[in-house]
Amino acid sequence: MGNAFQDQFLKLGLTDQKKVKKLKHEQRKKNKTQQTETTPAAKQQAAQLQAERVEQDRLLNQQKQQQAQVKAIQAQIRQLITQNRQTDTDGELVYHFVDGKKVKQLYVSQKILAQLSQDKLYIVKFDEQYALVKPDIAEKIRTRDANIVIQHNTEQNAESEEMYADYKIPDDLMW
């Protein structure tokens, strides 16, 4: 749809089709340049939005890296436990230990019970189950995540053993 004045000028012969096209072209150029021209405030606002987006992206990437690092540590722990767990632990003797605020129990053999009482084996939490590993492996696991290794209170045991050094309890005594 053309402009009413342009149509009238064309009918009267005051202008020709070339001049009308040229004028429309110039008007489009003018409108386009007006749209693309931005004020300093708009430029500043655009720069601020860009900076906010960059900051959000940086934080999101940081979170993703932390999550990937946690997954890698969990995979390392799982690998340490699966490769180094004691497999011949089943027995008929009950070994009680504290996990958090709960007292748990494991059925172990006499040999494993002796190793647990001498801190030659440690209990680790593994996929909602418990596994037995050697002290060096337990220390490697503890460096990655201290909550997985069920600690023995060796300091308290040492103090109590000093007090009762004269009173030895036989190892074969079971309650």
Residue 98 in domain: yes
One DSSP character per residue, 14-26 reads: SS-HHHHHHHHHH
Q: What is the reported pLDDT for 124? A: 92
Average pLDDT by stretches of 10, the chain with 175 residues:
70 79 86 72 87 95 96 92 85 86 88 86 88 91 88 57 70 58
Q: What is the reported pLDDT for 170? A: 62
User: What is the distance between the alpha carbons of residues 34 and 25, in angstroms, rounded to a whole number?
Assistant: 14
CB crowding 50-74: b at 16 or more within 10 Å, else e: eeeeeeeeeeeeeeeeeeeeeeeee
Residue 90 in domain: yes
User: What is the distance between the alpha carbons of residues 165 and 97, in angstroms, rounded to a whole number?
Assistant: 23
Closest CA to 95 of 14, 28, 175, 15: 175
Q: What is the reported pLDDT for 161? A: 66
Model-wide pTM > 0.75: no
Residue 29 in domain: no
Q: Based on the structure, what is the number of domains in the chain?
A: 1
Residue 17 in domain: no
The answer to whether the CB of 121 falls within 8 A of the CB of 132 is yes
Residue 82 in domain: yes
User: What is the distance between the alpha carbons of residues 130 and 78, in angstroms, rounded to a whole number?
Assistant: 12
Residue 124 in domain: yes
Containing domain of residue 108, as a range?
A: 58-152
Q: What is the reported pLDDT for 10? A: 76
Residue 146 in domain: yes
